[in-house]
Amino acid sequence: MDNKPNVVMVGLGYIGLPTAALIAKNKTYVHGVDINPEIVKTINAGKIHIIEPELDNAVENAVKDGFLYASTVPVEADSYLIVVPTPFKGKNEPDISFVESATKAIIPLLKENDLYIIESTSPIGTTELMMNLIYSERPELKNKLNIAYCPERVLPGNVMYELVHNDRVIGGINDESTEKAVDFYRQFIKGDLHKTNARTAEMCKLVENSSRDVQIAFANELSLICDKADINVWELIKLANKHPRVNILQPGCGVGGHCIAVDPYFIVADYPMESKIIGTAREINNYKSFWCAEKVKNAKLEFELQHGRKPRIALLGLAFKPNIDDLRESPAKYIVQKVLQNANDEEYYIVEPNINEHKVFKLTSYEEAIDKADIIVFLVAHDEFKNYKAIKEKIVLDFCGALNK
Ligand SMILES: NC(=O)c1ccc[n+]([C@@H]2O[C@H](COP(=O)([O-])OP(=O)(O)OC[C@H]3O[C@@H](n4cnc5c(N)ncnc54)[C@H](O)[C@@H]3O)[C@@H](O)[C@H]2O)c1
């Protein structure tokens, strides 16, 4: 690209690419960096490698207009955004090695007054750690850079809208860094920009997802109690929520996705003694999936005892939440795996209307599964499943409230 980029975006995935396209749309030059050469090639051809509404047009136009260019190596710019993955390593320990290597790649390019922002979901103290890493390699820049953390909280499927309209929390390692980062985001974002320090901004992202996890764990715990007490948990929650200050969430077959099921561990790993509720919520939500698999096993054995033959079983849903095709960390997928591990000549029909095929599971249509199965297990409350009409002789296990909402 002839034009000097103003922004280097390191990591061109679900978050980095839409953000790069948004910045480019505002006629700011973006040099996108990804270690995956296929991704780089795809983007430079004006195409995208992920599914996200409206992103294809945004990337095509940004590349065509010369405001977005991708590469496997960074170049000199004024602002650097780190949007690389922060997965687990070992036993639920956050792995910040991607953030570290992305940072190392841009350290030689930094100059006075540059802005360095981490957007990757990160354990508390990561921004300070990266600041120390930068200044240890470039001591002449000490206190002359603007360093901040700004987490992302968009909903996949609505990213292009939410990127612009959601409020953002922005925390610098000092006030000047916070101000510089706010000025940067103000150019592209219409939502309110809330100023804080880096540690609070890091914690804020983790707390948002932990809060959801804890609240879902409460609902899941109620579902276990109600099952024993012979109470319909969905009816119970509906009634309890008639109280003007009570708002219980819905139980399900666990908690999945790459955020809510992951981020709480970033707190628990560093503060195990203090994060009792957060850690227990993770355990309850994981246990709920195991419990569902056990329930299917018991239903299967009971059927065999009663009917003297193996049952046919429909397992409905694989995604981690209703009406999406995302199977990452999905409790429904875990339950299906667990049930199939215990398979003993029963016939199974696995249904996921939001994907065409799966590399491990043979998929069946919803209609065929419902028609043939003796035991029908609702794992995800997809819209397609809600029109189920009860048939007397079929056993139904509704773990997600598909029939009760
Ligand atoms: N996807 C979401 O909905 C979402 C929402 C909020 C926060 N986040 C957080 O944002 C961060 C990024 O998530 P994502 O969903 O965009 O991940 P992703 O896996 O879709 O994309 C990350 C990209 O970074 C690239 N990459 C890895 N190491 C690199 C390096 N050293 N240099 C350059 N590129 C590198 C990968 O090849 C990949 O294309 C994560 O910390 C995630 O937790 C994601």
Q: How much distance in Å is there from the Cα of 85 to the middle of ligand 1? A: 4
For 197-228, the pLDDT digits (tens) are 999 999 999 999 999 999 999 999 999 999 99
- Residue 156 binned pLDDT confidence (cut-offs 50, 70, 90): confident
pLDDT over 50 (residue 342)? yes
Residues with CB under 6 A from ligand 1: 10-16, 33-36, 39, 83-86, 98, 101-102, 120-121, 152-154, 156, 259
Residues 6+ apart with CB under 8 A from 373: 311, 312, 313, 314, 349, 394
Hey, what domains does the chain have and what are their CATH numbers? 7-191 (3.40.50.720), 230-398 (3.40.50.720)
Closest CA to 11 of 87, 88, 119: 119
Q: How much distance in Å is there from the Cα of 66 to the middle of ligand 1? A: 24
Helices (H), 26-147: 37-44, 55-64, 97-106, 126-137
Q: How much distance in Å is there from the Cα of 145 to the middle of ligand 1? A: 24
pLDDT over 80 (residue 5)? no
Q: Whose alpha carbon is nearest atom 33 of ligand 1?
A: 34
Q: Whose alpha carbon is nearest atom 13 of ligand 1?
A: 85
- Tell me which of 59, 89, 152 to substitute to probe ligand 1's pocket, judged by most ligand atoms within 8 Å of the beta carbon: 152
Helices (H), 241-386: 264-270, 276-307, 331-341, 366-372
The whole-number pLDDT of residue 1 equals 46
The whole-number pLDDT of residue 258 equals 85
Among the atoms of ligand 1, which is closest to the Cα of residue 86?
Answer: 41
Q: How much distance in Å is there from the Cα of 221 to the middle of ligand 1? A: 32
The whole-number pLDDT of residue 405 equals 64
Q: How much distance in Å is there from the Cα of 384 to the middle of ligand 1? A: 31
Residues involved in catalysis:
205, 259
- Tell me which of 51, 81, 84 to substitute to probe ligand 1's pocket, judged by most ligand atoms within 8 Å of the beta carbon: 84
Among the atoms of ligand 1, which is closest to the Cα of residue 155?
Answer: 3
The whole-number pLDDT of residue 2 equals 47
Among the atoms of ligand 1, which is closest to the Cα of residue 153?
Answer: 6
Residues 6+ apart with CB under 8 A from 251: 216, 219, 220, 222, 223, 233, 237, 288, 399, 400, 401
For 63-111, the pLDDT digits (tens) are 999 999 999 999 999 999 999 999 888 788 899 999 999 999 999 999 9
Q: How much distance in Å is there from the Cα of 153 to the middle of ligand 1? A: 13
Q: What percent of the chain has pLDDT over 70?
A: 99
Q: Whose alpha carbon is nearest atom 38 of ligand 1?
A: 13
Residues 6+ apart with CB under 8 A from 257: 320, 321, 326, 328, 329, 330
The whole-number pLDDT of residue 91 equals 80
Provide mean pLDDT across the span 189-194.
Answer: 98
Q: Whose alpha carbon is nearest atom 44 of ligand 1?
A: 15
Q: How much distance in Å is there from the Cα of 35 to the middle of ligand 1? A: 11
Among the atoms of ligand 1, which is closest to the Cα of residue 101?
Answer: 31
What's the whole-number average pLDDT of the chain? 95
Residues 6+ apart with CB under 8 A from 274: none
